Amino acid sequence: MLLVALGIGIVAVIASALLGPKKGSRAKLMAYESGNDPEHGGVGTGQRFPVHFYLVAMLFIIFDIETAFFYPLAVAYQKLIPFAFFEAITFVVLLLVGYVYVLKKKVLEWA
Amino acid sequence: MPDWLATLLISLLKAVLVVLGLLTTFAYMTLIERRLLGRMQLRPGPNRVGPMGLLQPAADAIKSIFKEDLTVTLADKLVYTLAPIIAIGMALTAFGGIPAGPARSLFGENPWVYNLDAGILALLALTSMGVYGIFLGGWASGSKYPMLGALRSSAQMISYELGMGLSILGLLMLVGTTSFQGIVGWQAQNGVLILFQALGFALFLISSFAETNRTPFDLPEAEQEIVAGYLTEYSAIKWALFQMAEYVNMITASAIMATLFFGGWKGPQFLNAVIPGMSDWPIVWLVAKIAFFLFLFIWVRGTLPRLRYDQLMRFGWKLLLPLALANTVVTAAFLAFRGSGGLWFLGVLSFAGLLALLIMSDRVRVLWNQPTVRRPESEAVRAGGD
């Protein structure tokens, strides 16, 4: 399935490369910047962007790991109650402490 | 012909069929979306190319194939080419795991391409791989605006992925399996899961709108705001591949919602009294449910304005995430202490939660509308405003 799906993409890109016209000029191949010469463009030139994106990514990693811990618990839950309930609650509360800390630190604000 | 070769050939055939089916659906989705938006805005929509505009998708496809395929000078050539392929590959692959009927019902074959025990997990993993396509595409363009668009897009998608993953936990607790067949089977016995997980469904629906970058969460490609987001530097078929991936993701999200919350390929049981075996027809019911959700996607696009970016992130983190956790905990508590009572109480609880949310919506909206951080007035003036 993966092979077929990727194959479709590759075939489409190759077909377009073969069929389309190729008349590149300097102006046409310039990066988009409203007609100005691009400034600080280019891959690996160290473009700077807000630290918020790092924070969101880190939070995502933390909470996604939490989700990953939750899946096996959820699937096996009915066999483990009521013991599992208290375990899960403890885990959630610990996480909520971290979550509230993040809220209080105003990490999730984009003002 | 040895057995394994036959199996391989058959699953290859099915994969090709599914991919071609999805691509055709995508093409006609664009047409239907334009026509429907036209209807909603009291205008006809595209109706010139072919009868009722039916050849419009073909015309668009031919045009995008014969367009000049530009690669900007500043771009990273390899990644720039690879990104749309990743996006479309992951989007198409994700759909293959969804069952469209009972086992052996499709001319003696199984109506799915691959079947995994961890079906939902595989599917979530594949859809989140789509983020790579988008981010790499924006990064490899080597220009500022696509880069910003890609950053925004990936931040949005990973944030709402959390809500998505957490909102189905309650469902998994009820069902106790992650395979699609198991979930559909459970619903055939106990009633569709929307009855017991209404809040979870609402959260999942909202997250999947954000995951697929559809209105009201389509900021990554907000054309009036940051040019065209990560798509700015793409032309011809590569651009079309990104669009394709978005629409295919929409179809997949609809299929997941239909399977998880609306009984999947099972039709309503009472119809069996009219025509025996009607609820077991393969494909028919799944397609009907997918079509309903796709209509919902278009309807919402025609209705709602877009959120601002800070509102979007706050909405995801401050409302969706805690609510999904609350939903999980309530379901867990119910299962742990229900005694011998039926499931209906959980359903009532879930609907009550959803209703309370709707009634309280004016109070809740403060959560994402008003930032708690405000820049001091004087500082803003000194910096010459924004």
* Per-residue model confidence as pLDDT tens digits over A77-88: 888 877 888 888
pLDDT tens per residue, range B187-198:
888 777 777 888
Neighbouring C-beta atoms of residue A50, cutoff 10 Å: 12
| B140–A43 C-beta distance less than 8 A | yes
Placement of tokens 């696009």 in the chain: B301
Q: pLDDT-derived band of residue A54, with 50, 70 and 90 as boundaries? A: confident
Query: Would you state the pLDDT for residue B385?
Result: 43
Residue B294 has pLDDT above 60, yes or no: yes
- Summarize the confidence of residues B258-269 as an average pLDDT: 80
- Summarize the confidence of residues B303-322 as an average pLDDT: 84
Closest Cα to residue A76, out of B177, B118, B328, B329? B177
Residue B380 has pLDDT above 60, yes or no: no
Placement of tokens 């490369």 in the chain: A17
Residue A103 has pLDDT above 80, yes or no: yes
Query: Would you state the pLDDT for residue B386?
Result: 43
B19 to chain A: nearest residue by CA? A5
Residue B89 has pLDDT above 80, yes or no: yes
3-class secondary-structure state, position B267: coil
Flag whether residue A56 sits within 8 Å of chain B, measured between CB atoms.
Answer: yes
User: Which of B81-90, B138-147, B328-337 bottoms out in mean pLDDT, i.e. has the lowest?
Assistant: B138-147
- Summarize the confidence of residues A52-76 as an average pLDDT: 87
Q: What average pLDDT is seen over chain A?
A: 79
Say how many CB pairs under 8 Å bridge A and B: 215
User: What single DSSP character describes residue B106?
Assistant: B
pLDDT tens per residue, range B200-215:
888 999 888 888 877 7
Would you state the structure tokens that stand for residue B268, as one six-digit string? 């309503």
User: Which of B219-228, B230-239, B317-326, B347-356 bottoms out in mean pLDDT, i.e. has the lowest?
Assistant: B219-228
Distance CA B51, CA B45 (A): 13
| Neighbouring residues of B121: CB distance < 8 A, sequence distance ≥ 6 | A71, B178
In contact, B136 and B120? CB cutoff 8 Å: no
Residue A43 has pLDDT above 70, yes or no: no
Report the share of chain B in percent with pLDDT over 70.
Answer: 90
Would you state the structure tokens that stand for residue B279, as one six-digit string? 């609820």
Q: Which residues 16-35 of chain A have a CB within 8 Å of chain B?
A: 16-17, 19-24, 26, 28-33
User: Which of A1-10, B48-57, B285-294 bottoms out in mean pLDDT, i.e. has the lowest?
Assistant: A1-10
Distance CA A86, CA A80 (A): 10
Burial (CB count <10 Å: 0-12, 13-18, 19+), residue B333: middle
Distance CA B248, CA B42 (A): 27
Reported ipTM: the value is 0.84
User: Which of A83-92, B78-87, B148-157, B342-351 bottoms out in mean pLDDT, i.e. has the lowest?
Assistant: B342-351
Distance CA B360, CA B378 (A): 35
Between A48 and B187, name the one with better pLDDT.
Answer: B187
Residue B353 has pLDDT above 70, yes or no: yes
Q: pLDDT-derived band of residue A30, with 50, 70 and 90 as boundaries? A: confident
3-class secondary-structure state, position A22: coil
User: Which of B118-132, B223-237, B284-298 bottoms out in mean pLDDT, i.e. has the lowest?
Assistant: B223-237
| B65–A71 C-beta distance less than 8 A | no
Q: How far is CA B44 from CA A57, B26, B291, B357, in A?
A: 44, 20, 21, 37
Report CA dihedral (B209, B214, B216, B217) to the nearest 10 degrees.
Answer: 80
Q: What average pLDDT is seen over chain B?
A: 81
Convert B240-278 to b/e letters by CB count within 10 Å (16 or more is b). Answer: bbbbbbbbbbbbbbbbbbbbbbbbbbbbeeeeeeeeeeb
User: Radius of gyration of chain A from Cα atoms?
Assistant: 25
Neighbouring C-beta atoms of residue A69, cutoff 10 Å: 13
In contact, B99 and B111? CB cutoff 8 Å: yes
| B169–A42 C-beta distance less than 8 A | no
Residue in B146, B178, B237 nearest the CB of A12: B237
User: Which of A42-56, A62-76, B8-22, B63-77 bottoms out in mean pLDDT, i.e. has the lowest?
Assistant: A42-56
Closest Cα to residue B130, out of B296, B228, B248, B238? B248
Between A46 and A68, name the one with better pLDDT.
Answer: A68
Distance CA B209, CA B207 (A): 5
Chosen from A4, A59, A101 to mutate, greatest number of chain B CBs within 10 A: A4
Residue B93 has pLDDT above 70, yes or no: yes
| B142–A43 C-beta distance less than 8 A | yes
Q: pLDDT-derived band of residue B267, with 50, 70 and 90 as boundaries? A: confident
Chosen from B82, B179, B325, B379 to mutate, greatest number of chain A CBs within 10 A: B325
The full DSSP string for B43-73 is: S--S-SSSGGGTTHHHHHHHHHHHS-----T
Residue B109 has pLDDT above 80, yes or no: no
Residue A19 has pLDDT above 50, yes or no: yes
Query: Would you state the pLDDT for residue B121?
Result: 86
Can you name the residues that pair with A95 across neighbouring β-strands?
none
Would you state the structure tokens that stand for residue B87, as one six-digit string? 């996006």
Distance CA A63, CA A65 (A): 5
Residue B280 has pLDDT above 50, yes or no: yes
- Summarize the confidence of residues B339-357 as an average pLDDT: 77
A87 to chain B: nearest residue by CA? B332
Distance CA B102, CA B111 (A): 7
Flag whether residue A11 sits within 8 Å of chain B, measured between CB atoms.
Answer: no
* pTM of the predicted structure, to 2 decimals: 0.87
